[in-house]
Amino acid sequence: MRAETRNPDGSTARCDTAVSMLGHGLRVELSWNTQGTDVDLHALDQPEGRWFTPQDCYYANRQPDTALAEEGRRRWLDTDDVDGEGPENIRVDTPAVDHDYEIGVHFYSSHQQRGPTRATVVIYCGEQRVARFERDLTGDRGGSDANDFWHVAAVRFGGPEVCAVQPIQQVTTAAQMRP
């Protein structure tokens, strides 16, 4: 990138600067097909972790890894969409190698809407879309433990350019996923 300025005396000054952008190492995007509903994206950074705890990245814990010295290893939820369709995104700029990231979706509330909601999860490694999953979810009252919880997949990085997605595709209730 080149910047140039003209001084009042007519002389010019130039500056050349290299600009580079690094794609997010891991980005998970959740969207759904109904307005007026609340569906939440979750990400654990270890398979033995527990959903709905301080180990979980979700609406109640949008930046759970602030104690990590390396900011790029932190999980971040960008926004909590509570009125329908999303998207919600969780990212890890520099994912740990040989480390599983577990992805989950909770149907938080129907807000009196009727019928199922079609949730779509898209997983990106770098800027490449590597997996897409869809599932109908149901629920009722806000935060009800009887509402669906979908354990979507596990993502593992084998290096900066190597990413593997293992589908899990298990639907239970939120009560079964809580500690």
Helices (H), the chain: 174-177
- pLDDT level of residue 23 (50, 70, 90 thresholds): low
Give mean pLDDT, residues 4-30: 71
| pLDDT greater at residue 137 or residue 73 | 137
Compute the distance between CA of residue 89 and CA of residue 149 in angstroms, rounded to an integer. 17
pLDDT score of 15: 65
CA 110, CA 68: separation in Å to the nearest integer?
Answer: 35
Q: Which residue has the higher pLDDT, 166 or 21?
A: 166
Per DSSP, the three-state class of 177 is helix
- Rounded mean pLDDT, 88-95: 93
Domain spans of the chain, in order of start: 24-177
What distance in Å separates the CA atoms of residue 51 and residue 77, rounded to the nearest whole number? 15
pLDDT band at 115 (very low <50, low <70, confident <90, very high): confident
pLDDT interval class at 3 (50, 70, 90): low
Q: How confident is the model at residue 17 (pLDDT cuts 50, 70, 90)?
A: low
pLDDT at 94 over 50: yes
**Which pLDDT value is given to residue 9?**
81
Domain over 24-177 is classified CATH 2.60.60.30: yes
CA distance to 53, 90, 130, per residue, from 43 (Å)? 11, 7, 17
pLDDT band at 27; cut points 50, 70, 90:
very high
pLDDT category at 1 given cuts 50, 70, 90 is: low
Instruction: Tell me the pTM.
Output: 0.83
Identity of the amino acid at 138: T
